[in-house]
Amino acid sequence: MRRSTLSARLGTETAFEVLSRARQLEAQGRHVLHLEIGEPDFPTPRHIQEAAIRALEEGYTRYTPAAGLPELREAIARSVSRTRGIPVDPEEVVVTPGAKPILAFGILALVDPGDEVIYPDPGFPIYESVIRWAGGHPVPLALREENGFRVDPEVLRRLVTPRTRLLILNSPHNPCGSVLEQADLSAIAEICLEHDLFVLSDEIYSRIRYDGAHHSIASLPGMRERTLLLDGFSKTYAMTGWRLGYGVMPKPLAEAVTRFVVNVHSCAPAMVQRAGLAALEGPQEAVDRMVAEFRRRRDVVVTALNAMEGIRCVVPSGAFYAFPNVSALDPEGDRFAAYLLEETGVAVLSGTAFGPGGRGYLRLSYAAPLPQLEEALRRVEEAARTFRL
């Protein structure tokens, strides 16, 4: 069958492939520990579930306005305004099923064929996929372990050309767990202002930070009007399966993104939007507890990895991923990752799932209960001793 060139340009996320291989092994009776998928292992807080049930009973079963229920857009505007210290008009908010559509529609609304887009490498694989889909030219921005996997503004500056349209930032970062501090963002903002760059700031892990507050480039002078800020409910409120996210962007861009919404999915599910409202306006203790637990696990995981022969791991400051360097065992990382799954039953992702910059690394998600992580670490330690290329 003949497929369109447009469909052939789309990439994918290896995490789902590894998950399906892990499930196959489980079906054969193998015991697999899942450190591959990026989703909190906690239940969605009860009051959010109850809000969705109430919404169903109250008749929130129909289409909503494409950009979202007015009360949810208002709550998001208040929340982003408070957390980023900037004024936000509800009309600048677009609600989507998960945050991923904001990435796709945002890039499609901003990038013309031939435009260059700078994105982090290693980084979330969907960035490169959608840049190519839009006909843009992806320009990887190397994040280096020596620099704590933060953006080096001088490296960024050297990548900018007259064709550069968009810069994608992700802090806290998937897969490295690095965060951009105020000084990093100021230096990056200076380059954006100097070269008239637009920024897609992926802040989906904004609430999962271990030391210090989250900073957004949108908060810096002159940046709000050139930033599409992406955030959502999946990670913060353990709501990955509900599919609810949003973008905050200048009104003309919000109109363009909403047009994609109208053409593709009409609106996010009404009862899920009501649940999102309860998430933003209700008690936040569950989020704090979850982040405290992630921090405890991070310390266990990173300490254990650093004690292993041939492995070293930078301490992540946010998100729930460890990104250990295993290049002494396997310069690529792919074969060690496959060995971990096939021989020891630990599902992880090879760093190469996040671009060439991930060569020689693994991504371990520590969104799993501590006893499972401890068992996984024991198996990884043994594998590091027995693995031969």
The footprint of ligand PLP (CB under 6 A) covers 38, 98-100, 124, 170, 174, 202, 204, 232, 234, 240, 245
Please identify, using beta-carbon distances, which residue of 273 and 344 lies nearer to ligand PLP.
Answer: 273
- Smallest gap from residue 107 Cβ to ligand PLP (A): 12
Please identify, using beta-carbon distances, which residue of 270 and 384 lies nearer to ligand PLP.
Answer: 270
Q: List % helix, strand, coil for the chain (3-state, nearest 5).
A: 45, 15, 40
Please identify, using beta-carbon distances, which residue of 191 and 367 lies nearer to ligand PLP.
Answer: 367
- Smallest gap from residue 272 Cβ to ligand PLP (A): 12
Q: Which tokens in the block code for residue 354?
A: 């996040």
- Smallest gap from residue 383 Cβ to ligand PLP (A): 26
- Smallest gap from residue 259 Cβ to ligand PLP (A): 20
CB 328 within 8 A of CB 284: no
- Smallest gap from residue 238 Cβ to ligand PLP (A): 11
3-class secondary structure per residue, 51-115: HHHHHHHCCCCCCCCCCCCHHHHHHHHHHHHHHHCCCCCHHHEEEECCCHHHHHHHHHHHCCCCC
- Smallest gap from residue 321 Cβ to ligand PLP (A): 9
Residue of minimal Cβ distance to ligand PLP? 98
CB 149 within 8 A of CB 181: no
Burial of 49: CB neighbours in 10 Å, binned 0-12, 13-18, 19+: middle
Whole-number Å distance between alpha carbons of 75 and 306: 42
Please identify, using beta-carbon distances, which residue of 120 and 345 lies nearer to ligand PLP.
Answer: 120
Please identify, using beta-carbon distances, which residue of 174 and 327 lies nearer to ligand PLP.
Answer: 174
> Which of helix, strand or coil describes residue 341?
helix
Please identify, using beta-carbon distances, which residue of 366 and 387 lies nearer to ligand PLP.
Answer: 366
